[in-house]
Amino acid sequence: MAAVADKKICVGCGACVATCPVEAIVLKDGVAQIDPQKCISCGACVATCPVQAIKLQ
């Protein structure tokens, strides 16, 4: 399981990037991109995203 950001919903605010404890998220072309190899599925980014763009799957 890993967090996945929906690039159609993401508004590029960067909140998830700052929240991730393992630096698994970067902004690329204005949207969040999550590295599933680094993600530990903690859920912090899911809770932080203001537009509910991230899901654990």
Sites for ligand SF4 among residues 19-48 (CB under 6 A): 19-20, 22, 24-25, 32, 34, 39-45, 48
Q: How far is CA 8 from CA 3, 29, 33, 38, in A?
A: 15, 12, 12, 22
User: Among residues 4, 16, 29, 33, which is the contact residue for ligand SF4, using CB under 6 A?
Assistant: 16
User: By rule CB under 6 A, what count of residues binds ligand SF4?
Assistant: 28
- Asked whether 3 and 56 are in contact (CB, 8 A), the reply is yes
**Given the rule CB under 6 A, which residues bind ligand SF4?**
3, 5, 10-16, 19-20, 22, 24-25, 32, 34, 39-45, 48-49, 51, 53-54
